[in-house]
Amino acid sequence: QKEVEQDPGPLSVPEGAIVSLNCTYSNSAFQYFMWYRQYSRKGPELLMYTYSSGNKEDGRFTAQVDKSSKYISLFIRDSQPSDSATYLCAMIHGGSEKLVFGKGTKLTVNP
Amino acid sequence: DARVTQTPRHKVTEMGQEVTMRCQPILGHNTVFWYRQTMMQGLELLAYFRNRAPLDDSGMPKDRFSAEMPDATLATLKIQPSEPRDSAVYFCASGIDRGRTEAFFGQGTRLTVV
């Protein structure tokens, strides 16, 4: 079993839809949780970062962490065609710099 | 505009040849990562450095891969000899160690070994 599992999709939604992206993990030592966005033929860019269980909101994006279930989510409200990209979850053990990534979910938002 | 710079952006080489990829981390960042991305495996950590010292290269095939930081502004990843299975996109990322490091990625080097 991989440490981080992420459904690769692809996921296709109409513009304006609410998008839900999810990852599960097996190692309870993960303490820091991130979401990266990767456009085609580009490097991943950090989108959101959370530490504790609960929600963190930034504009149209909300990151949610449930440590008891080992489950993290990224919600995108009012999705736009410019949100079309691959979204990767990533996690770090406490006291480590080793980012462990999910495989990414490819999202397409159709105008 | 602070960013991680990787060269070359694309490389096509024949099996058995040496390949060198270079990375200039963001000025002031003390942690550098090398990742490899493939469709099958996703992003895999190959090695990382803090303050130019290698901390972990357990993800790297030791017989053919080597990573170094000759100085704070340059990180290199070498493959010798290269094999077709090394074809992938190689990313360098840098960050500042604050107990946990947010990694900022370069644009990647797309390597094709034929």
Q: Do A43 and B101 touch (CB under 8 A)?
A: no
| Single-letter code of the amino acid located at A4 | V
User: Would you give per-residue pLDDT tens digits along chain B (114 residues)?
Assistant: 679 999 999 999 999 999 999 999 999 999 999 999 999 889 999 999 999 999 888 889 889 999 999 999 999 999 999 999 999 999 999 988 765 667 899 999 999 999
Q: Sign of dihedral through CA atoms A22, A83, A98, A32?
A: negative
Chain A interface, mutation test: which of B4, B5, B43, B98, most A Cβ atoms within 10 Å? Answer: B43
Q: Specify whether the CB–CB gap between B109 and B9 falls below 8 A.
A: yes
Alpha carbons A74 and A8: distance in angstroms, whole number: 14
What residues in B contact A96, CB-CB < 8 Å? 100
Q: Do B100 and A98 touch (CB under 8 A)?
A: no
